[in-house]
Amino acid sequence: MTFAVQFLIDVLSLGGAYALMALGLVIVYGILRLVNFAYGELIMVAGYTMFLMNGSGAPWLIMALVAVAMAVAAGIATDYVAFRPVRAKSVTAVLITSFAFSTLLQNAALLFISPRPRPVPLPEIFSQTVTILGAVTPLRNLITIAAAVILLALFAWMMRSTVLGIAMRAAATNFTMARMLGVPANLIISSAFAISGFLGGVVGILWIGRIGTVVPGIGLEPLLVAFIATVIGGMRSMQGAVIGGFLLALIDTTLNYTLPQDLLKFRDAFTFSLVILILLWRPDGLIKGPASGQRT
Amino acid sequence: MLEVSDLGVRYGAIRAVHDVSLQAGKGELIAILGANGAGKSSTLKCIAGALKASAGTIRLDGQDVTSAKPEQMVRLGVAMVPETRDVFPDLTVSENLTLGSYIHRRNRADVESTRERMLGLFPRLRERARQAAGTLSGGEQQMLVIARALMSRPKLLLLDEPSLGLAPVVVDTIFEMIAELKRSGLTIVLVEQNAAKALSVADRAYVMRLGRIAAKGPAAEIAANTDLGALYLGG
């Protein structure tokens, strides 16, 4: 029983973080059919914002809010700097500009801050543990689960019940038709980047909370995780991204629990082998997206 | 109301439309007829702002809108019903209608009263309001895209091949609707391959062939001219 609870909490907290990461990537992909390779740097921006505000004396929650706001700003900046100028011209160009923007942000952090890990302020609550049904778990894990539940619910509500959300779902199916109904393309795209930044920022704080430090390359793993989760779940489907995130966490956690010590450092190899098997079985991912897929 | 002069459209090196000029007065229903590939749809998409004109001008109430974006055209009162019957399949019928009124979204009461009118006009849609649009039949989807376009309360409606792929009974219903919309004072540009149907509701017609206007005139005159039959029937 204790073991089951422990396992469940581990899967749900890791899965919650993965799902939010994947959702942040897929919201932009769904509309533009372009992967934002600078996505990981949104997490980096949130982390360094926390570091820079360390010692400012502000309450942690305020620092976290500012960090999320900075990630949102960085997301919108990605659109203006890397996507908008070349969007209509060529797919390859956007891939390169989004890589370039990612490199630019990372190098800015290297140059102006430090290549070495920098501490981020963490509230007391992040390092406390609780005992649930005999299982000892960091309170941080429960906070991650709660944050994931709240954000996923909020996201689902927004996509279903607000005109902007409905317009974003429509734009993900057929952007041209949405525009012919008066939905402005730039507003939808900027909103997608803002939401991506918001999810990236929140997940960044939770993610960095596990380690307590930020480095310029912090965004690489979340980007990879988000990318794989969306590939498993189906690149075009938001539910798919969430399911993919939880599934990836289930695989990772199961391997963590079952692999012998010597093999644990090869965990990713096992994970990716399983991912390949899933893709051989369902090449389009678990959930197929909307039928049509023109880009603007 | 609508004045298109010497319009040209290119797809890369291929010129799909040459020197097309046409007018539609307020409350008029004009039909653009012609065989597949005659450039009818390209002309219409260009008016809607979804395709860029390579030459010529488009004026709406005297204002030059040649290079306006599709979302701007909607705000200027132009609504497009594309031939591909682009419902958003994963959205419900009701959500599809909501998007049609995107430009009026701040005026909730207005949107609701327009929605009520549309559901009154198309009772089938009311029955299926909560259903995903992708599950509707072809005829119902056609009704939905027309209703969705009307949700923006346009003054100019662009209809692209509304009869395409529909059963004859359904085509009759759709054309009764179109005649009804015309009676309500809406200006309509109707692109059709089904010439007989289109001419039965149109005031005037233009016949396109190989990207050019091959003939134009009052609908009755075009219908009576047997030589033209060969043109718009694709002969």
Return the CATH fold of A2-127+137-281.
ABC transporter involved in vitamin B12 uptake, BtuC (1.10.3470)
Per-residue pLDDT of A36-69, as tens digits, reads 999 999 999 999 999 999 888 889 999 999 999 9
Which chain A residues are Cβ-neighbours of B88 within 8 angstroms?
Answer: 169-170, 173-174, 177-178, 290
Q: Where are the domains of chain A?
A: 2-127+137-281
CA angle A270–A276–A273, rounded 5-degree value: 15
Q: Do B102 and A167 touch (CB under 8 A)?
A: yes
- Tell me, yes or no, whether B117 lies in a domain: yes
Chain A residues 162-181 within an 8 A CB cutoff of chain B: 163, 166-167, 169-170, 173-174, 176-181
Q: Which amino acid is at A275?
A: V
Task: Give me the sheet containing B29-34, strands edge to edge.
Answer: B78-81, B156-160, B187-192, B29-34, B204-209, B212-218
Tens of pLDDT, residue by residue over B130-187, are 999 999 998 999 999 999 999 999 999 999 999 988 999 999 999 999 999 999 999 9
Cβ within 8 Å, pair A169-B88: yes
A54 reaches B (C-beta below 8 A):
no
A184 interface with B at CB cutoff 8 Å = yes
pLDDT digits (tens, 9 = 90+) for B189-213: 999 988 889 999 999 999 998 999 9
Q: Which tokens hold the place of B200? A: 């039965």
Query: How many Å apart are CA A13 and CA A16, to the nearest integer?
Result: 5
Q: What ipTM was assigned to the predicted interfaces of this complex?
A: 0.87
Residue B180 domain flag: no
Smallest CA–CA separation between A180 and chain B, in Å? 5
Number of structural domains chain B divides into:
1
Q: So what's the pLDDT on residue B235?
A: 39
Task: Assess if residue B3 is contained within a domain.
Answer: no
Chain B residues in contact with A180 (beta carbon < 8 A): 48-50, 70-71, 73-74, 80, 82
Q: Cα angle at A184 between A180 and A187, to 5 degrees?
A: 155
Our CA-based measurement puts residue B86 at a distance from the nearest CA of chain A, in whole angstroms, of 7
pLDDT reading at A87 higher than 70: yes
Looking at chain A, the number of H-run helices and the number of E-run strands are 11, 4
Per residue in A113-169, pLDDT (tens digit) is: 999 999 998 888 888 888 888 888 889 999 999 999 999 999 999 999 999 999 999
Q: Which two tokens stand for residue B174?
A: 């759709």
The kind and range of the H/E element at A102 are helix A91-112
Average pLDDT value over all residues in chain A: 90
Percent of chain A whose predicted confidence (pLDDT) is above 70: 97
Q: Rg (Cα) of chain B, in Å, rounded?
A: 17
Q: Are A38 and A82 a contacting pair, CB within 8 Å?
A: yes
Could you give the CA distance from residue B23 to residue B58 in angstroms, rounded to a whole number?
10
Alpha helices of chain B — where are they, by DSSP H?
A: 40-48, 70-75, 93-100, 108-121, 123-127, 138-150, 168-183, 195-201, 219-224, 226-232
Q: Which residues of B touch A169 (CB under 8 A)?
A: 88, 90-91, 95
CA B147 to chain centre: 12
The answer to whether residue B10 scores a pLDDT higher than 70 is yes
Q: For A20-24, A292-296, B50-54, which range has the lowest pLDDT when averaged over its residues?
A: A292-296
Is B111 within a domain? yes
Identify which of B80, B91, B134 has the shortest CB distance to residue A166.
B91
Distance CA A70, CA A86 (A): 24
**How confident is the model at residue A296, as a pLDDT?**
39
Domain that holds residue B127: 88-152
